Amino acid sequence: MTGEDAATSAPLTETVVDASGLACPMPVIELAKAVERVPVGGRVRLLATDPAARVDVPVWCRMQRHRLHHHEQDATGRHCFLVERAH
């Protein structure tokens, strides 16, 4: 990307969804609603404490053909996922 391209391209959109304390299937439902609201290429950062999110979110991303960029779990057990809307 040239400097001109970088200057004229729109910045990435990132929305944060805090689903901490919500049980399955609510973190994925909240993620799905947020992904619908961002433009293609936009990103949603999902925070979740439900242990099932570790499996559910990557599966949902594959099924819906969105890109899971990142997943980490902190010392408190909270998961952080970064999902990009693909279509």
Q: What share of the chain is helix, strand, coil (3-state, %, to 5)?
A: 35, 30, 35
Encoded tokens for 73 = 């779990």
Annotation marks residue 24 as catalytic: yes
- List Cα–Cα distances, 81 to 3, 42, 70, 72, in angstroms: 30, 14, 6, 7
Q: Which of 15, 20, 22, 24 is catalytic?
A: 24
- Give the amino acid at 26: M
Active site residues: 24
